Amino acid sequence: MTVAHDDATTPGAGGSRRRLSLVTAIVAVTVALDQVTKAMAQAWLPPHTLHLLGDTVRLAFSENVGAFLSLGASLSPALRFWIFTVASGGMLVLVAIYVVSSDELPQDAIVALAFVLGGGVGNLIDRITREGRVVDFLNFGIGNLRTGILNVADIFITFGALYVMWAALRSGREDE
């Protein structure tokens, strides 16, 4: 795979500083958007559910002790703490180190992983400050075909991860 380096991915100290600045800015904006929208949901939604765009979007306050689609919600509080707070926090540290230190990542992958990192940090903040609970308030769908209840951090994580997977598949095809 041939990687074109730009300012944020240029090897060396200057590229590392630019990459760190880019990742820090994206994470800061992502976390801020996530935390502000969660605070707004908590302040304005309970006990109401808002139906928008012909019920394509529903806004309803919820707190999730599990992961995606409440997976793991039935685990003991101690096990949830170790998995969803400690282990996910450790994974976020590893992602941050990789994104900031890898000279081989193209800028679009850096941006995508920074969105994953920012979303993960936003949800981790909830877990730490809300006794293991994450605020969710968004639900999308048509009729009975709906997503689970999620938040802005989940959207950043999902789109960042999907972009990384798509870019990896595309890169694999280019290498053939």
Please give the positions annotated as active site: 136, 154
SS3 66: coil
CA distance 7 to 22: 10
Sign of the torsion formed by the C-alpha atoms of 90, 75, 30 and 128:
negative
What's the DSSP call for residue 7?
G
Phi, psi of 99 (to 5 degrees): -65, -40
- 4-26: burial string, b at 16+ Cβ within 10 Å, e else: eeeebbeeeeebbebbeebbeeb
Cα gap 88→73, rounded to integer Å:
15
